A and B are shown apart, each in its own frame.
Chain A
Amino acid sequence: MSEHATLAGVTRVYPARAGHGAVHALGPVDLSLRSGEFFSVVGPSGCGKSTLLEVLAGLAQPTEGVVRFEDRAVRGEVPEGVGVVFQEDASFPWLSVADNVAFGLRRAGLPDAEIRERVDYALKFMGLVDFRGAYPAQLSGGMRQRVCIARTLVLRPRLILLDEPFGALDAQTRLLMGDELLKLWRETGATVLLITHALDEAAMLSDRIAVMSARPGKLIEILDTGWPRERDSRIAGEDDFGHITGHLWKLLRGESLKSLGMEAAS
Protein backbone atom coordinates (compact mmCIF):
# COMPACT_ATOMS: atom_id res chain seq x y z
CA MET A 1 0.00 0.00 0.00
CA SER A 2 1.21 3.49 -0.80
CA GLU A 3 1.90 6.26 1.67
CA HIS A 4 -0.93 8.72 1.97
CA ALA A 5 0.30 11.10 4.64
CA THR A 6 3.57 11.27 6.52
CA LEU A 7 5.10 13.03 9.47
CA ALA A 8 8.92 13.13 9.46
CA GLY A 9 10.78 14.29 12.57
CA VAL A 10 7.81 16.43 13.60
CA THR A 11 7.93 18.29 16.91
CA ARG A 12 5.71 20.96 18.35
CA VAL A 13 6.89 23.25 21.08
CA TYR A 14 4.59 25.91 22.50
CA PRO A 15 6.71 28.99 23.16
CA ALA A 16 7.23 30.30 26.69
CA ARG A 17 4.61 32.69 28.00
CA ALA A 18 4.20 34.76 31.10
CA GLY A 19 3.72 32.31 33.96
CA HIS A 20 5.26 29.23 32.40
CA GLY A 21 8.17 28.12 30.27
CA ALA A 22 8.10 26.59 26.82
CA VAL A 23 6.00 23.41 26.58
CA HIS A 24 7.35 20.58 24.49
CA ALA A 25 4.04 18.98 23.49
CA LEU A 26 4.98 16.59 20.75
CA GLY A 27 7.67 14.54 19.19
CA PRO A 28 9.85 14.00 17.45
CA VAL A 29 7.34 11.81 15.64
CA ASP A 30 7.78 9.78 12.46
CA LEU A 31 4.57 8.35 11.11
CA SER A 32 3.38 7.14 7.77
CA LEU A 33 -0.30 6.49 7.03
CA ARG A 34 -1.02 3.99 4.28
CA SER A 35 -3.70 4.70 1.72
CA GLY A 36 -7.06 3.41 2.89
CA GLU A 37 -6.07 2.17 6.32
CA PHE A 38 -7.81 2.79 9.62
CA PHE A 39 -5.15 4.07 11.97
CA SER A 40 -5.65 4.94 15.62
CA VAL A 41 -3.48 6.79 18.09
CA VAL A 42 -3.91 6.07 21.78
CA GLY A 43 -2.08 7.69 24.66
CA PRO A 44 -2.44 9.11 28.14
CA SER A 45 -4.33 12.36 28.53
CA GLY A 46 -2.31 15.44 27.74
CA CYS A 47 0.27 13.52 25.71
CA GLY A 48 -0.12 15.59 22.57
CA LYS A 49 -2.53 13.37 20.61
CA SER A 50 -4.64 16.33 19.55
CA THR A 51 -1.51 18.30 18.70
CA LEU A 52 -0.46 15.45 16.43
CA LEU A 53 -3.80 15.65 14.64
CA GLU A 54 -3.70 19.42 14.33
CA VAL A 55 -0.21 19.35 12.86
CA LEU A 56 -1.22 16.65 10.38
CA ALA A 57 -4.36 18.61 9.43
CA GLY A 58 -2.40 21.79 8.87
CA LEU A 59 -4.22 23.53 11.72
CA ALA A 60 -0.96 23.89 13.66
CA GLN A 61 2.57 24.43 12.35
CA PRO A 62 5.21 21.90 13.34
CA THR A 63 8.15 23.48 15.17
CA GLU A 64 10.48 21.11 13.36
CA GLY A 65 10.00 18.41 10.76
CA VAL A 66 7.91 17.96 7.66
CA VAL A 67 4.27 16.97 7.15
CA ARG A 68 3.21 15.66 3.77
CA PHE A 69 -0.20 14.76 2.38
CA GLU A 70 -0.36 13.11 -1.03
CA ASP A 71 3.19 14.22 -1.79
CA ARG A 72 2.62 17.87 -1.00
CA ALA A 73 4.00 19.60 2.07
CA VAL A 74 1.33 20.72 4.56
CA ARG A 75 2.10 24.16 5.94
CA GLY A 76 -0.35 26.13 8.05
CA GLU A 77 -3.32 25.42 5.84
CA VAL A 78 -5.70 22.47 5.69
CA PRO A 79 -5.14 20.70 2.36
CA GLU A 80 -8.03 19.98 0.03
CA GLY A 81 -9.19 16.40 0.55
CA VAL A 82 -8.75 16.39 4.33
CA GLY A 83 -11.79 16.27 6.62
CA VAL A 84 -11.66 16.77 10.39
CA VAL A 85 -14.17 15.84 13.09
CA PHE A 86 -13.41 17.40 16.46
CA GLN A 87 -14.12 16.21 19.97
CA GLU A 88 -16.19 19.29 20.77
CA ASP A 89 -19.54 19.89 19.16
CA ALA A 90 -18.76 21.83 15.99
CA SER A 91 -22.25 21.87 14.48
CA PHE A 92 -23.44 25.32 13.48
CA PRO A 93 -26.36 26.15 15.81
CA TRP A 94 -27.78 28.69 13.33
CA LEU A 95 -28.27 26.12 10.55
CA SER A 96 -30.70 23.23 10.31
CA VAL A 97 -29.27 19.72 10.17
CA ALA A 98 -29.62 19.59 6.38
CA ASP A 99 -28.01 23.03 5.97
CA ASN A 100 -25.18 22.04 8.29
CA VAL A 101 -24.48 18.99 6.16
CA ALA A 102 -24.74 21.02 2.94
CA PHE A 103 -22.43 23.78 4.21
CA GLY A 104 -19.20 22.61 2.61
CA LEU A 105 -20.92 21.59 -0.62
CA ARG A 106 -22.47 25.05 -1.01
CA ARG A 107 -19.09 26.64 -0.39
CA ALA A 108 -17.63 24.41 -3.08
CA GLY A 109 -20.31 25.74 -5.43
CA LEU A 110 -21.75 22.37 -6.44
CA PRO A 111 -25.00 22.29 -8.43
CA ASP A 112 -28.15 22.16 -6.26
CA ALA A 113 -29.24 18.74 -7.51
CA GLU A 114 -25.92 17.19 -6.56
CA ILE A 115 -25.94 18.90 -3.16
CA ARG A 116 -29.41 17.51 -2.47
CA GLU A 117 -28.39 14.04 -3.53
CA ARG A 118 -25.23 13.97 -1.41
CA VAL A 119 -26.96 15.48 1.63
CA ASP A 120 -29.82 12.97 1.39
CA TYR A 121 -27.33 10.13 1.21
CA ALA A 122 -25.31 11.37 4.19
CA LEU A 123 -28.44 11.98 6.28
CA LYS A 124 -29.67 8.48 5.55
CA PHE A 125 -26.25 7.02 6.23
CA MET A 126 -25.99 8.73 9.63
CA GLY A 127 -29.63 8.06 10.57
CA LEU A 128 -30.59 11.74 10.53
CA VAL A 129 -33.31 11.73 7.87
CA ASP A 130 -36.10 12.48 10.36
CA PHE A 131 -34.12 15.41 11.76
CA ARG A 132 -33.14 17.18 8.57
CA GLY A 133 -35.17 20.28 9.47
CA ALA A 134 -34.20 20.27 13.16
CA TYR A 135 -31.63 22.63 14.67
CA PRO A 136 -28.65 21.33 16.67
CA ALA A 137 -30.06 22.74 19.93
CA GLN A 138 -32.91 20.23 19.61
CA LEU A 139 -30.55 17.25 19.26
CA SER A 140 -28.57 15.17 21.75
CA GLY A 141 -24.78 15.37 21.86
CA GLY A 142 -24.45 12.09 19.97
CA MET A 143 -26.75 13.26 17.19
CA ARG A 144 -24.88 16.55 16.85
CA GLN A 145 -21.65 14.63 16.48
CA ARG A 146 -23.33 12.60 13.75
CA VAL A 147 -24.24 15.86 12.03
CA CYS A 148 -20.57 16.82 12.12
CA ILE A 149 -19.52 13.46 10.73
CA ALA A 150 -22.14 13.72 7.96
CA ARG A 151 -20.95 17.25 7.20
CA THR A 152 -17.41 15.93 6.76
CA LEU A 153 -18.45 12.82 4.88
CA VAL A 154 -20.41 14.63 2.12
CA LEU A 155 -17.22 16.32 0.94
CA ARG A 156 -15.74 12.87 0.26
CA PRO A 157 -12.41 13.55 1.97
CA ARG A 158 -9.59 11.19 1.11
CA LEU A 159 -8.14 11.55 4.60
CA ILE A 160 -10.49 11.75 7.58
CA LEU A 161 -9.04 12.90 10.89
CA LEU A 162 -11.12 12.22 13.99
CA ASP A 163 -10.15 13.77 17.32
CA GLU A 164 -11.90 11.72 20.01
CA PRO A 165 -15.20 12.24 18.22
CA PHE A 166 -17.10 10.02 20.65
CA GLY A 167 -15.37 11.27 23.80
CA ALA A 168 -18.54 12.85 25.13
CA LEU A 169 -20.79 9.85 24.45
CA ASP A 170 -21.76 6.94 26.66
CA ALA A 171 -20.08 3.57 26.14
CA GLN A 172 -22.92 1.84 24.26
CA THR A 173 -23.51 4.73 21.89
CA ARG A 174 -19.78 4.84 21.29
CA LEU A 175 -19.67 1.18 20.21
CA LEU A 176 -22.56 1.72 17.79
CA MET A 177 -20.99 4.89 16.42
CA GLY A 178 -17.84 2.84 15.93
CA ASP A 179 -19.81 0.47 13.72
CA GLU A 180 -21.06 3.37 11.64
CA LEU A 181 -17.56 4.68 11.37
CA LEU A 182 -16.32 1.33 10.07
CA LYS A 183 -19.15 1.26 7.52
CA LEU A 184 -18.28 4.78 6.43
CA TRP A 185 -14.61 3.89 6.15
CA ARG A 186 -15.33 0.83 3.99
CA GLU A 187 -17.72 2.69 1.70
CA THR A 188 -15.55 5.74 1.13
CA GLY A 189 -12.20 4.00 0.91
CA ALA A 190 -10.72 6.97 2.75
CA THR A 191 -7.73 6.81 5.03
CA VAL A 192 -8.83 7.34 8.63
CA LEU A 193 -6.79 8.60 11.55
CA LEU A 194 -8.61 8.29 14.87
CA ILE A 195 -7.33 9.88 18.06
CA THR A 196 -8.80 8.23 21.12
CA HIS A 197 -8.14 7.48 24.76
CA ALA A 198 -10.43 4.43 24.69
CA LEU A 199 -8.32 1.31 24.18
CA ASP A 200 -11.32 -0.88 23.29
CA GLU A 201 -12.37 1.61 20.62
CA ALA A 202 -8.90 1.59 19.08
CA ALA A 203 -8.66 -2.20 19.29
CA MET A 204 -12.02 -2.72 17.63
CA LEU A 205 -11.77 -0.20 14.83
CA SER A 206 -8.18 -0.10 13.66
CA ASP A 207 -5.89 -1.81 11.21
CA ARG A 208 -2.95 -0.33 13.07
CA ILE A 209 -2.67 1.34 16.46
CA ALA A 210 0.08 3.70 17.56
CA VAL A 211 0.75 4.04 21.28
CA MET A 212 1.97 7.42 22.46
CA SER A 213 4.11 8.20 25.49
CA ALA A 214 3.41 10.82 28.14
CA ARG A 215 4.41 14.36 27.18
CA PRO A 216 6.34 15.09 25.07
CA GLY A 217 4.33 12.60 23.04
CA LYS A 218 6.37 10.13 21.02
CA LEU A 219 5.25 6.91 19.37
CA ILE A 220 6.35 3.97 21.54
CA GLU A 221 5.00 1.19 19.38
CA ILE A 222 2.85 0.65 16.32
CA LEU A 223 0.80 -2.50 16.48
CA ASP A 224 -0.94 -4.42 13.68
CA THR A 225 -4.35 -5.79 14.66
CA GLY A 226 -4.73 -8.07 11.63
CA TRP A 227 -8.53 -7.59 11.52
CA PRO A 228 -10.34 -8.29 8.25
CA ARG A 229 -11.72 -5.23 6.43
CA GLU A 230 -15.27 -6.52 7.01
CA ARG A 231 -15.68 -6.13 10.77
CA ASP A 232 -17.90 -4.59 13.39
CA SER A 233 -18.22 -4.20 17.16
CA ARG A 234 -18.90 -7.93 17.54
CA ILE A 235 -15.17 -8.60 17.30
CA ALA A 236 -15.09 -7.28 20.86
CA GLY A 237 -15.98 -10.86 21.83
CA GLU A 238 -12.94 -12.45 20.18
CA ASP A 239 -9.81 -13.62 21.97
CA ASP A 240 -7.56 -11.41 19.87
CA PHE A 241 -9.52 -8.36 20.98
CA GLY A 242 -8.62 -9.15 24.58
CA HIS A 243 -4.98 -9.72 23.67
CA ILE A 244 -4.78 -6.40 21.83
CA THR A 245 -6.39 -4.31 24.59
CA GLY A 246 -4.28 -6.16 27.15
CA HIS A 247 -1.11 -5.38 25.25
CA LEU A 248 -2.12 -1.73 24.78
CA TRP A 249 -2.80 -1.35 28.47
CA LYS A 250 0.55 -2.91 29.38
CA LEU A 251 2.27 -0.30 27.21
CA LEU A 252 0.12 2.55 28.46
CA ARG A 253 -0.13 1.89 32.18
CA GLY A 254 3.30 3.28 32.96
CA GLU A 255 2.80 6.26 30.68
CA SER A 256 -0.58 7.05 32.17
CA LEU A 257 0.89 6.98 35.68
CA LYS A 258 3.65 9.28 34.50
CA SER A 259 1.12 11.71 33.06
CA LEU A 260 -0.67 11.73 36.41
CA GLY A 261 2.63 12.51 38.13
CA MET A 262 2.92 9.04 39.70
CA GLU A 263 5.74 6.54 39.13
CA ALA A 264 5.02 3.04 37.90
CA ALA A 265 5.07 0.60 40.84
CA SER A 266 6.80 -2.08 38.82
Chain B
Amino acid sequence: MSKLGWWRLGVVGGAVLVLEILCRTGVIDRFTMIPPTEMVAALWRLLLAGELNRDIAQTLSNVALAFVLAVTGGFFLGLGIHAWPRLRRVVDPFLATYYAVPFFVFYPILIVIFGMNDLPIVVIGFLFAVVAMIINTLNGLDRIPRVLLKTARVYRMNPLATALKIKLPAAALHLFAGAKLAVAYAFIGVIASEFILSASGLGYAIAYAYNNFNNEKMYALMLFIILLVTAINMSFYVWEQALVRRWGRG
Protein backbone atom coordinates (compact mmCIF):
# COMPACT_ATOMS: atom_id res chain seq x y z
CA MET B 1 0.00 0.00 0.00
CA SER B 2 1.16 3.55 -0.72
CA LYS B 3 2.08 5.99 2.01
CA LEU B 4 -1.09 7.93 1.27
CA GLY B 5 -3.07 4.71 1.60
CA TRP B 6 -1.70 4.14 5.10
CA TRP B 7 -2.62 7.70 6.03
CA ARG B 8 -6.17 7.17 4.81
CA LEU B 9 -6.42 3.93 6.77
CA GLY B 10 -5.10 5.85 9.75
CA VAL B 11 -7.85 8.49 9.41
CA VAL B 12 -10.58 5.83 9.36
CA GLY B 13 -8.95 3.84 12.16
CA GLY B 14 -8.50 6.98 14.22
CA ALA B 15 -12.15 7.98 13.81
CA VAL B 16 -13.29 4.52 14.90
CA LEU B 17 -10.95 4.67 17.89
CA VAL B 18 -12.29 8.09 18.96
CA LEU B 19 -15.85 6.75 18.63
CA GLU B 20 -14.93 3.74 20.74
CA ILE B 21 -13.49 5.96 23.46
CA LEU B 22 -16.47 8.34 23.42
CA CYS B 23 -18.86 5.40 23.74
CA ARG B 24 -16.86 3.62 26.43
CA THR B 25 -16.44 6.73 28.56
CA GLY B 26 -20.16 7.47 28.37
CA VAL B 27 -19.85 10.73 26.45
CA ILE B 28 -22.14 9.03 23.93
CA ASP B 29 -24.80 7.10 25.84
CA ARG B 30 -25.65 3.52 24.97
CA PHE B 31 -29.13 4.52 23.85
CA THR B 32 -27.63 6.61 21.08
CA MET B 33 -24.79 4.39 19.98
CA ILE B 34 -22.94 1.29 21.07
CA PRO B 35 -19.11 1.10 20.83
CA PRO B 36 -17.79 -0.10 17.44
CA THR B 37 -16.21 -3.20 18.98
CA GLU B 38 -19.61 -4.24 20.29
CA MET B 39 -21.11 -3.71 16.81
CA VAL B 40 -18.54 -6.12 15.42
CA ALA B 41 -19.21 -8.65 18.19
CA ALA B 42 -22.98 -8.34 17.70
CA LEU B 43 -22.64 -8.78 13.94
CA TRP B 44 -20.47 -11.85 14.48
CA ARG B 45 -23.11 -13.40 16.78
CA LEU B 46 -25.91 -12.60 14.31
CA LEU B 47 -24.05 -14.18 11.43
CA LEU B 48 -23.16 -17.28 13.46
CA ALA B 49 -26.73 -17.69 14.68
CA GLY B 50 -27.90 -17.51 11.07
CA GLU B 51 -31.13 -15.80 12.07
CA LEU B 52 -30.64 -13.15 9.36
CA ASN B 53 -29.76 -15.49 6.52
CA ARG B 54 -33.19 -15.16 4.95
CA ASP B 55 -33.16 -11.36 5.12
CA ILE B 56 -29.63 -11.19 3.75
CA ALA B 57 -30.46 -13.54 0.90
CA GLN B 58 -33.59 -11.59 0.04
CA THR B 59 -31.92 -8.18 0.05
CA LEU B 60 -28.91 -9.40 -1.88
CA SER B 61 -31.00 -11.12 -4.53
CA ASN B 62 -33.14 -7.98 -4.94
CA VAL B 63 -30.03 -5.81 -5.20
CA ALA B 64 -28.42 -8.25 -7.63
CA LEU B 65 -31.52 -8.30 -9.82
CA ALA B 66 -31.84 -4.49 -9.79
CA PHE B 67 -28.12 -4.17 -10.51
CA VAL B 68 -28.05 -6.63 -13.41
CA LEU B 69 -31.15 -5.08 -14.96
CA ALA B 70 -29.75 -1.57 -14.53
CA VAL B 71 -26.32 -2.41 -15.97
CA THR B 72 -27.56 -4.35 -19.01
CA GLY B 73 -30.58 -2.11 -19.52
CA GLY B 74 -28.50 1.03 -19.02
CA PHE B 75 -25.89 -0.17 -21.50
CA PHE B 76 -28.40 -0.96 -24.23
CA LEU B 77 -30.47 2.18 -23.57
CA GLY B 78 -27.22 4.15 -23.74
CA LEU B 79 -26.37 2.50 -27.05
CA GLY B 80 -29.81 3.36 -28.43
CA ILE B 81 -29.69 6.97 -27.27
CA HIS B 82 -26.16 7.32 -28.59
CA ALA B 83 -27.09 5.93 -31.99
CA TRP B 84 -29.90 8.44 -32.34
CA PRO B 85 -28.51 11.97 -31.88
CA ARG B 86 -31.90 13.67 -32.09
CA LEU B 87 -33.30 11.51 -29.29
CA ARG B 88 -30.20 12.31 -27.31
CA ARG B 89 -30.64 16.05 -27.67
CA VAL B 90 -34.21 15.60 -26.45
CA VAL B 91 -33.45 13.44 -23.39
CA ASP B 92 -30.11 14.99 -22.37
CA PRO B 93 -31.62 17.51 -19.94
CA PHE B 94 -33.82 14.79 -18.43
CA LEU B 95 -30.80 12.59 -17.81
CA ALA B 96 -28.85 15.49 -16.36
CA THR B 97 -31.62 16.42 -13.90
CA TYR B 98 -32.86 12.89 -13.19
CA TYR B 99 -31.31 12.62 -9.75
CA ALA B 100 -32.76 15.99 -8.79
CA VAL B 101 -36.24 14.39 -8.78
CA PRO B 102 -37.01 12.58 -5.53
CA PHE B 103 -38.79 9.81 -7.43
CA PHE B 104 -38.93 7.79 -4.27
CA VAL B 105 -42.18 9.62 -3.57
CA PHE B 106 -43.74 7.58 -6.36
CA TYR B 107 -43.53 4.38 -4.37
CA PRO B 108 -47.30 4.18 -3.76
CA ILE B 109 -47.83 4.17 -7.52
CA LEU B 110 -45.36 1.31 -7.89
CA ILE B 111 -47.27 -0.68 -5.29
CA VAL B 112 -50.49 -0.04 -7.17
CA ILE B 113 -48.89 -1.20 -10.39
CA PHE B 114 -46.78 -4.12 -9.16
CA GLY B 115 -48.50 -5.14 -5.95
CA MET B 116 -47.15 -5.55 -2.43
CA ASN B 117 -44.18 -7.82 -3.13
CA ASP B 118 -40.51 -7.69 -4.10
CA LEU B 119 -41.19 -6.27 -7.52
CA PRO B 120 -41.64 -2.58 -6.59
CA ILE B 121 -38.47 -2.86 -4.48
CA VAL B 122 -36.46 -4.16 -7.41
CA VAL B 123 -38.01 -1.53 -9.67
CA ILE B 124 -36.98 1.30 -7.33
CA GLY B 125 -33.43 -0.14 -7.09
CA PHE B 126 -33.37 -0.35 -10.88
CA LEU B 127 -34.69 3.20 -11.33
CA PHE B 128 -32.05 4.52 -8.97
CA ALA B 129 -29.22 2.72 -10.74
CA VAL B 130 -30.12 2.71 -14.42
CA VAL B 131 -29.58 6.37 -15.22
CA ALA B 132 -26.07 6.40 -13.73
CA MET B 133 -25.34 3.52 -16.08
CA ILE B 134 -26.89 5.28 -19.09
CA ILE B 135 -24.91 8.46 -18.44
CA ASN B 136 -21.63 6.56 -18.09
CA THR B 137 -22.39 4.45 -21.16
CA LEU B 138 -22.93 7.63 -23.19
CA ASN B 139 -19.68 9.04 -21.82
CA GLY B 140 -17.80 5.91 -22.78
CA LEU B 141 -19.33 5.69 -26.25
CA ASP B 142 -18.48 9.35 -26.91
CA ARG B 143 -14.83 8.59 -26.29
CA ILE B 144 -14.46 5.57 -28.56
CA PRO B 145 -11.99 6.54 -31.31
CA ARG B 146 -13.84 6.78 -34.62
CA VAL B 147 -11.22 4.64 -36.28
CA LEU B 148 -12.33 1.62 -34.21
CA LEU B 149 -15.88 2.01 -35.51
CA LYS B 150 -14.57 2.29 -39.07
CA THR B 151 -12.57 -0.87 -38.42
CA ALA B 152 -15.79 -2.61 -37.39
CA ARG B 153 -17.28 -1.68 -40.75
CA VAL B 154 -14.21 -3.00 -42.55
CA TYR B 155 -14.86 -6.30 -40.76
CA ARG B 156 -18.44 -6.05 -42.03
CA MET B 157 -19.84 -6.31 -38.51
CA ASN B 158 -23.57 -5.77 -37.93
CA PRO B 159 -24.75 -3.28 -35.26
CA LEU B 160 -25.15 -5.94 -32.55
CA ALA B 161 -21.69 -7.45 -33.16
CA THR B 162 -20.22 -3.94 -33.22
CA ALA B 163 -21.92 -3.15 -29.91
CA LEU B 164 -20.74 -6.30 -28.15
CA LYS B 165 -17.30 -6.86 -29.70
CA ILE B 166 -16.11 -3.27 -30.21
CA LYS B 167 -18.16 -0.71 -28.29
CA LEU B 168 -18.52 -2.75 -25.10
CA PRO B 169 -14.79 -3.45 -24.60
CA ALA B 170 -13.74 -0.04 -25.96
CA ALA B 171 -15.97 1.71 -23.42
CA ALA B 172 -15.33 -0.84 -20.66
CA LEU B 173 -13.57 1.48 -18.24
CA HIS B 174 -16.42 4.00 -18.38
CA LEU B 175 -18.92 1.19 -18.00
CA PHE B 176 -17.06 0.18 -14.84
CA ALA B 177 -17.57 3.66 -13.44
CA GLY B 178 -21.28 3.28 -14.20
CA ALA B 179 -21.42 -0.19 -12.66
CA LYS B 180 -19.77 0.99 -9.45
CA LEU B 181 -22.36 3.73 -9.08
CA ALA B 182 -25.10 1.27 -10.02
CA VAL B 183 -24.11 -1.05 -7.15
CA ALA B 184 -24.32 1.77 -4.63
CA TYR B 185 -27.59 3.11 -6.04
CA ALA B 186 -29.17 -0.34 -6.24
CA PHE B 187 -28.35 -0.88 -2.55
CA ILE B 188 -29.79 2.51 -1.62
CA GLY B 189 -32.95 1.93 -3.62
CA VAL B 190 -33.56 -1.60 -2.34
CA ILE B 191 -32.77 -1.01 1.33
CA ALA B 192 -34.68 2.27 1.48
CA SER B 193 -37.67 0.51 -0.11
CA GLU B 194 -37.45 -2.30 2.42
CA PHE B 195 -37.71 0.27 5.22
CA ILE B 196 -41.19 1.19 4.08
CA LEU B 197 -42.47 -1.40 1.65
CA SER B 198 -41.42 -4.73 3.04
CA ALA B 199 -41.89 -7.18 5.88
CA SER B 200 -38.48 -8.75 5.39
CA GLY B 201 -35.00 -7.98 4.12
CA LEU B 202 -32.12 -6.06 5.70
CA GLY B 203 -33.82 -2.68 5.43
CA TYR B 204 -36.86 -4.03 7.22
CA ALA B 205 -34.67 -5.71 9.84
CA ILE B 206 -32.91 -2.41 10.57
CA ALA B 207 -36.21 -0.55 10.85
CA TYR B 208 -37.60 -3.29 13.09
CA ALA B 209 -34.56 -3.20 15.37
CA TYR B 210 -34.79 0.58 15.54
CA ASN B 211 -38.46 0.51 16.53
CA ASN B 212 -37.68 -2.00 19.27
CA PHE B 213 -34.73 -0.06 20.68
CA ASN B 214 -32.51 -3.00 19.72
CA ASN B 215 -29.38 -0.91 19.18
CA GLU B 216 -27.09 -3.89 19.09
CA LYS B 217 -28.84 -5.48 16.16
CA MET B 218 -29.44 -2.20 14.34
CA TYR B 219 -25.80 -1.12 14.41
CA ALA B 220 -24.62 -4.62 13.58
CA LEU B 221 -26.79 -4.60 10.46
CA MET B 222 -25.63 -1.13 9.44
CA LEU B 223 -22.04 -2.27 9.80
CA PHE B 224 -22.82 -5.37 7.74
CA ILE B 225 -24.24 -3.32 4.86
CA ILE B 226 -21.36 -0.87 4.88
CA LEU B 227 -18.78 -3.66 4.90
CA LEU B 228 -20.63 -5.49 2.13
CA VAL B 229 -20.93 -2.46 -0.19
CA THR B 230 -17.30 -1.53 0.44
CA ALA B 231 -16.16 -5.07 -0.36
CA ILE B 232 -18.17 -5.15 -3.59
CA ASN B 233 -16.91 -1.74 -4.68
CA MET B 234 -13.34 -2.66 -3.84
CA SER B 235 -13.48 -5.83 -5.90
CA PHE B 236 -14.79 -3.78 -8.83
CA TYR B 237 -11.95 -1.34 -8.26
CA VAL B 238 -9.30 -4.08 -8.22
CA TRP B 239 -10.70 -5.56 -11.41
CA GLU B 240 -10.80 -2.12 -13.04
CA GLN B 241 -7.22 -1.36 -12.07
CA ALA B 242 -6.05 -4.68 -13.49
CA LEU B 243 -7.65 -3.73 -16.82
CA VAL B 244 -6.15 -0.24 -16.73
CA ARG B 245 -2.70 -1.72 -16.19
CA ARG B 246 -3.14 -4.06 -19.12
CA TRP B 247 -4.99 -1.85 -21.60
CA GLY B 248 -3.67 1.57 -20.68
CA ARG B 249 -6.02 4.43 -19.87
CA GLY B 250 -9.15 4.18 -22.03
Contacts and interface: CB of A to CB of B under 8 A. Distances in A.
Interface residues of A, number: 23
Contacts, number: 56
Interface stretch (A29-37, A84-92, A237-245): A84-92
A95 B166 CA distance: 11
B247 A77 contact: no
Interface string A70-97: 0000000110101110101110111100
Given A135-B246, A137-B247, A78 B147 contact: no
A50 to B, nearest CB: 11
Contacts of A77: 153, 156
Query: Main secondary structure on chain B at its contact with chain A?
Result: helix
B172 interface: yes
Interface in B138-168: 145, 147-148, 150-151, 153-157, 161, 165-166
Contacts of B161: 107
Contacts of A83: 154
A87 to B, nearest CB: 8
Nearest to B145: A88
A103 B151 CA distance: 11
Interface string B213-248: 000000000000000000000000000000100111
Contacts of B169: 92, 94-95
B244 to A, nearest CB: 9
A150 interface: no
B250 interface: yes
Q: Which of under 10, 10 to 19, 20 to 34, or 35 or more describes the interface residues of B?
A: 20 to 34
Contacts of A94: 169-170, 172, 243, 247
B246 A137 contact: yes
Query: Main secondary structure on chain A at its contact with chain B?
Result: loop
A104 interface: yes
A57 interface: yes
A93 B150 contact: no
B154 A84 contact: yes
A69 to B, nearest CB: 13
A93 B157 CA distance: 18
Given A88-B145, A92-B148, A94-B169, A80 B156 contact: yes
Contact of A59 (B153, B172, B243, B246): B153
B150 A59 contact: yes
Contacts of B170: 92-94
A58 B172 CA distance: 29
A89 B147 contact: yes
B247 A78 contact: no
A179 to B, nearest CB: 25
Contacts of A58: 153
Nearest to B243: A94
Nearest to A148: B151
A36 B243 CA distance: 42
B148 to A, nearest CB: 6
A136 B145 CA distance: 15
A82 B155 CA distance: 9
Given A94-B247, A137-B248, A86 B153 contact: no
B156 A90 contact: no
Given A93-B250, A94-B169, A78 B151 contact: no
A86 B248 contact: no
Contact of A90 (B148, B165, B243, B247): B148
Contact of A88 (B147, B153, B156, B172): B147
Q: Give the most central of B153, B161, B166, B248: most A CB within 10 Å.
A: B153
B151 A86 contact: yes
Nearest to B246: A135
Contacts of A88: 145, 147
Given A59-B150, A88-B147, A93 B248 contact: yes
A251 to B, nearest CB: 30
Contacts of A95: 169
7 cross-chain pairs, A with B, having the tightest CB-CB distances, nearest first: A137-B248, A94-B169, A88-B147, A93-B247, A90-B147, A90-B151, A84-B154
Interface of A: 57-59, 77-78, 80, 82-84, 86, 88-90, 92-95, 103-104, 107, 135-137
Interface of B: 145, 147-148, 150-151, 153-157, 161, 165-166, 169-170, 172, 243, 246-248, 250
21 contacts: A58-B153, A77-B153, A78-B153, A78-B156, A84-B151, A84-B154, A86-B147, A89-B147, A90-B145, A90-B147, A90-B150, A92-B166, A93-B250, A94-B169, A94-B247, A107-B157, A107-B165, A136-B247, A136-B248, A137-B247, A137-B248
Given A90-B150, A95-B169, 8 more contacts: A57-B154, A59-B154, A86-B150, A89-B145, A92-B166, A93-B170, A107-B161, A136-B248
